Structure 1
Amino acid sequence: MSQKRSIFEDVSETQKPEIRTGAIDGARRGSRRAVRIWMALLFLMVVAMIALGGLTRLTDSGLSITQWKPLSGALPPMGQAAWQHEFDLYKQIPQFTEQNSWMQLSDFKQIYWWEWSHRNLGRAIGLVWALGFFGFWALGKIPQGWKGRCFGIGVLGAVQGAVGWWMVSSGLGGDMLRVASYRLAIHLGVAFTILGFIAWFVYALGREERDLMQARRAREKKLFGMSTGWMHMLFLQVLLGALTAGIDAGRSFTDWPLMGGQFFPPYAFDIQPIWHNFLENPGLVQFIHRCFGYLVFIYGTVCFLKGNRSPNAATRRAFMIAWISMLVQVLLGITTVMTAAMVHVAITHQLVAVLTFVLIIRARFMAAYPVVSGIRG
């Protein structure tokens, strides 16, 4: 039987009661910080990949390498004979025979380096993912429940590589002078999908699991649903932007808000069969991209106004920042049209699309896992 003790008796360090943590704390936590840094590095590399891909398209460099060699292709041509061989392969495709027959070897090298850099950055992303995933796995540092998510990023990366070659192959034969625009849209869509998952994971890894579980109880369901719709709408607008860029439709009409002096562009359904106009008619494709952009802006404004009524200050800020980014993107879109898609304007437009997409995901995350403000703020 324990002895009675005075309520005024001091308790020594050795007599302090043992603090037992809950089931969440007792689970294997891994190294959330290290895995988050790894994910953040992948995020930055994917953003660079999207930017470099945009520059590759804007410089018409995407078809300069006509073969897919996952390993040996990492090395550039060594010597004059190797360069001439690559140039001879390029001479066999329609883009050269019908559009770039004026090129000399020195001109070819300029577009070759863009595509080579784009492919090698993709290889580097795959290598960073593999080293990180298998390294953390071997060391037991992947937090519980995260192994499948981390592996899924690698699977999507492999799919993206296959889609990339599928896209390039569309421009190597027939009468194609560039890659098929719908394949370009799918390629960019997979890139944004990867980016979206990584961004969500980086946000989640920035907070402890028990914190997320507690925050989830305060989820703002209506705001979360609305922001999910906003995210999907912007994603679709990105695909429409890829269709526009894929056929250089952004340079077909350079006036705004009208197109060719009228609301609806002329000759919008000149291509037969009719449905081809939705993929190949520059005027109609740009018109759809414009109009859907207006819808995204209107819906995003509704989301912002709804988010501004959130009881949580961090959530309100997240929706405000996402809306400001969207406003900047709209203005850049108009500027891109009116400058006939000048390279530096067009690539900025693409990068701000990335920023806006990620900020909308952040606003959605804050609606799902709000940082609740106490009485003291």
Structure 2
Amino acid sequence: MLNQQQQSRYDRQVAGWLLLCAAVIFGMITLGGVTRLTGSGLSMVEWKPLMGVIPPIGEEAWQETFDKYKQYPEYHKVNRGMDLDGFKSIFMYEYLHRVLGRVIGVLFFVPMVFFAVKGRVRAGMMPKLWILFALGGLQGLLGWYMVKSGLVDNPRVSQYRLTAHLGLAVAIYAYMLWVAFDLLFPGKPGKHPRAGFSRVLVGLIYLMILSGGLVAGTRAGFAYSTWPLMGTSFIPAGLYAMEPAWLAMFEDITTVQFNHRMFAYLLFVLVHLFVWLSWRNGLGSRGKLAMVLLLAALWLQVVLGIGTLLLHVPVWLAAAHQAGAVLLLSATLFSSHYLVKQAS
């Protein structure tokens, strides 16, 4: 039977491992954005869960891999005339993305087994860890399901599958953070008056990230490179012009970008309101730090978002904008956990 001091030490070890895994997943999400932005996601036309970790070795192997790529529509409709060196460039982004996914699997599974065998996992925690592992496996399958949607006549992945793939990655990351916070900050009985507001905010920011997935999948970010106006007006012509109108929310680039902007404005107001109300109701030192970090993440994301639009979606800035969204979610989770657990 572990005493409280030993259990706290083991909890910190498990939490440290989970935070490391979450950091690598954060990198995975960012690399996924770069892979999409560079048009590299369809360069690997086969899914080999085990042998796929070995890249082509030698010019003959590279040429064979390139010849397979040439059999698919993206080469003929987008990259016709690409040479082998150009193919190697896009291939490596997708290859690194897939290999990092496998690394995350090993980085999670091996320590999980070690901690379980050594009896260092707190009672009731193992089911949560198994859920995270199962979701990670599902994420790999969903990634290939997404890629398959682009290996057809239209060489672009489905925005629905892309958004689902992004959404599951972010959900795994968020749940992992929350479990780590539970171990690091056990908390006290009772909740802060703004605990409910914090949970709503977490949900809304998650939906905002899904909205960003639709923007990426439809390439709606390229439609209007002006701000605060969209073209010559705040409300552009042609909103919800599709039949049926609700489908425009997911497929019409003007509507998709407009909705993403409106969602951002709403969250900008709600986050400031949330911080103000939480501060008025009283916060401990960690709570105050959480609110400061939340505001900093929000303003950083605003600057990144506007810059991405005005500079017409450069790869480095668009990838930073996607990473900024995950940082904002992280700060919101940190704030919410404090308020829900009422830890000082």
Output the TM-score relative to the length of structure 2.
Answer: 0.94
**1:271-314 deviations in Å (ceiling 9; x for gaps):** 55554432222211111100111111111121111111132233
How far apart are 1:339 and its partner, in Å?
0.7
Quick check: 1:297–1:326 contact (8 Å CA) kept in 2? yes
* 1:33 corresponds to 2:37: no
How far apart are 1:345 and its partner, in Å?
1.2
* 1:250 corresponds to 2:229: no
Partner of 2:111: 132
Quick check: 1:216–1:368 contact (8 Å CA) kept in 2? no
Partner of 2:77: 98
How far apart are 1:61 and its partner, in Å?
0.2
Output the TM-score relative to the length of structure 1.
Answer: 0.86
* 1:63 corresponds to 2:50: no
Matched residue type, 1:187: H
* 1:296 corresponds to 2:267: yes
Partner of 1:201: 179
* 1:318 corresponds to 2:297: no
Describe the SS at the equivalent of 1:349.
helix
Partner residue of 1:336 out of 295, 299, 308: 308
How far apart are 1:25 and its partner, in Å?
3.9
Q: Are residues 80 and 259 of structure 1, via their aligned partners in 2, closer, same or farther at CA, if it must alter by over 3 Å?
A: same
Partner residue of 1:182 out of 160, 165, 170: 160
Describe the SS at the equivalent of 1:308.
helix
Aligned-pair identity in percent equals 34
Quick check: 1:171–1:179 contact (8 Å CA) kept in 2? yes
* 1:42 corresponds to 2:21: yes
* 1:107 corresponds to 2:96: no
Q: Are residues 33 and 269 of structure 1, via their aligned partners in 2, closer, same or farther at CA, if it must alter by over 3 Å?
A: closer
| C-alpha distance in structure 2 between counterparts of 1:191 and 1:298, whole Å | 27
| C-alpha distance in structure 1 between counterparts of 2:109 and 2:263, whole Å | 38
Partner of 2:120: 141
* 1:154 corresponds to 2:133: yes
| C-alpha distance in structure 1 between counterparts of 2:173 and 2:269, whole Å | 25
Matched residue type, 2:67: D
Larger RCO: Structure 1 or Structure 2 (Cα < 8 Å, ≥ 6 residues apart)?
Answer: 2
Higher helix share: 2
Quick check: 2:74–2:155 contact (8 Å CA) kept in 1? yes
Partner of 2:329: 357
Q: Are residues 103 and 26 of structure 1, via their aligned partners in 2, closer, same or farther at CA, if it must alter by over 3 Å?
A: closer
| C-alpha distance in structure 2 between counterparts of 1:218 and 1:280, whole Å | 44
Quick check: 1:309–1:316 contact (8 Å CA) kept in 2? no
Quick check: 1:30–1:142 contact (8 Å CA) kept in 2? no
How far apart are 1:326 and its partner, in Å?
1.0
Partner residue of 2:210 out of 225, 239, 246: 239
How far apart are 1:180 and its partner, in Å?
0.7
Matched residue type, 2:329: F
| C-alpha distance in structure 1 between counterparts of 2:230 and 2:163, whole Å | 23
**1:55-79 deviations in Å (ceiling 9; x for gaps):** 0001000000011100011000122
Quick check: 1:250–1:341 contact (8 Å CA) kept in 2? yes
Residues 343-352 or 316-325, more deviating: 316-325
Partner residue of 2:142 out of 145, 163, 176: 163
Q: What are the ranges of 5 or more consecutive residues in structure 2 without an aligned counterpart? A: none
* 1:279 corresponds to 2:250: yes
| C-alpha distance in structure 2 between counterparts of 1:97 and 1:270, whole Å | 32
Describe the SS at the equivalent of 1:31.
helix
Total equivalences in the alignment: 343
Matched residue type, 1:334: I
| C-alpha distance in structure 2 between counterparts of 1:173 and 1:259, whole Å | 33
| C-alpha distance in structure 1 between counterparts of 2:4 and 2:149, whole Å | 52
